[in-house]
Structure 1
Amino acid sequence: MNRNAPIKDVLAIVDGWPSSMSAVDQALAYAGQYEATLTVIVITENLSLAAAIDPMAYAQVLTVSDQQQSEHLAAVRERAKNAAIHVEVRGLFEATTLLPGLTKAEGQYADVALIPGADRWQNDGLRRHITEALIFAGVPTLVMPATWKPSPARHVALGWNASLEAFRAARAALNLVEPNSQIDVVIVDGLESAKSGQPLTGMHIARHLARHGHNANVHATSSATRGTAGALQFFAAHQNADLLIVGGYGRSRAVEFVLGGVTRELLGNQRLPILFVH
Structure 2
Amino acid sequence: MSYRSIVVHLDTGERAHPRLELALRMAKQFGAHLTGMFSVFVPDRRSFYVMAGSAEYYSSQEKLRTERRAAIERLFHAELGRAKVSGEWVVTDECANLAVPRRGRTADLIIASQDDPEDPEAYVGDHFPENLLMSTGRPVLMVPYVGTFPLLGSNVMVAWDGSREATRAAHDALPFMQHAKKTTVVTVNGTKDTPAGRPAPGSDIAAVIARHGVKVEVINIDSSTGVSTGDALRNHASKLGADLIVMGAYGHARWQELVMGGVTRDTLKSMTVPVLMSH
Q: TM-score range by the shorter chain?
A: 0.7 to 0.9
Distance (Å, rounded) in 2 between the aligned partners of 1:57 and 1:9: 45
Equivalent position of 1:113 in the other structure: 110
Kindly state the Cα deviation for residue 140 of structure 1 after the two structures are TM-superposed. Answer: 0.7
Q: Does 1:69 align with 2:49?
A: no
**Where in structure 2 are there 5+ consecutive unaligned residues?**
none
Equivalent position of 2:97 in the other structure: 100
Kindly state the Cα deviation for residue 243 of structure 1 after the two structures are TM-superposed. Answer: 0.8
Match for 2:7 among 11, 34, 38? 11
Deviation per residue, 1:7-33 (Å, 9 max, x gap): 121111122134432222222222222
Equivalent position of 2:241 in the other structure: 240
8 Å contact from structure 1 (residues 185, 202) kept in 2: yes
Kindly state the Cα deviation for residue 258 of structure 1 after the two structures are TM-superposed. Answer: 6.2
Equivalent position of 1:129 in the other structure: 127
Equivalent position of 1:39 in the other structure: 35
Q: Does 1:228 align with 2:229?
A: yes
Compared with structure 1, are the counterparts of its residues 173 and 259 closer, same or farther at alpha carbon in structure 2 (3 Å cutoff)? closer
Deviation per residue, 1:105-153 (Å, 9 max, x gap): 1110111111122437426664772212221211111111242435462
2:268 maps to amino acid = L
For this pair of structures, how many residues does the alignment match?
270
**Where in structure 1 are there 5+ consecutive unaligned residues?**
none
SS for the counterpart of 2:205 is helix
Distance (Å, rounded) in 2 between the aligned partners of 1:258 and 1:209: 31
Distance (Å, rounded) in 2 between the aligned partners of 1:179 and 1:19: 26
Distance (Å, rounded) in 1 between the aligned partners of 2:102 and 2:196: 47
Match for 1:27 among 4, 23, 27? 23
Equivalent position of 1:273 in the other structure: 274
Equivalent position of 1:173 in the other structure: 173
Compared with structure 1, are the counterparts of its residues 22 and 50 closer, same or farther at alpha carbon in structure 2 (3 Å cutoff)? farther
Compared with structure 1, are the counterparts of its residues 8 and 170 closer, same or farther at alpha carbon in structure 2 (3 Å cutoff)? same
Compared with structure 1, are the counterparts of its residues 266 and 19 closer, same or farther at alpha carbon in structure 2 (3 Å cutoff)? same
2:39 maps to amino acid = I
SS for the counterpart of 1:153 is coil
Q: TM-score, normalised by structure 2?
A: 0.83
Compared with structure 1, are the counterparts of its residues 220 and 253 closer, same or farther at alpha carbon in structure 2 (3 Å cutoff)? farther
Distance (Å, rounded) in 1 between the aligned partners of 2:143 and 2:215: 25
Distance (Å, rounded) in 2 between the aligned partners of 1:71 and 1:195: 62
Equivalent position of 2:143 in the other structure: 144
Equivalent position of 1:201 in the other structure: 201
Compared with structure 1, are the counterparts of its residues 157 and 257 closer, same or farther at alpha carbon in structure 2 (3 Å cutoff)? same
SS for the counterpart of 1:177 is helix
Kindly state the Cα deviation for residue 174 of structure 1 after the two structures are TM-superposed. Answer: 1.5
Distance (Å, rounded) in 1 between the aligned partners of 2:119 and 2:29: 25
2:109 maps to amino acid = V
Q: Does 1:88 align with 2:84?
A: no
8 Å contact from structure 2 (residues 155, 180) kept in 1: no
Quote the sequence identity (%): 26
Compared with structure 1, are the counterparts of its residues 254 and 217 closer, same or farther at alpha carbon in structure 2 (3 Å cutoff)? farther
1:185 maps to amino acid = V
Compared with structure 1, are the counterparts of its residues 183 and 101 closer, same or farther at alpha carbon in structure 2 (3 Å cutoff)? same
Deviation per residue, 1:234-256 (Å, 9 max, x gap): 1122111221000111x415499
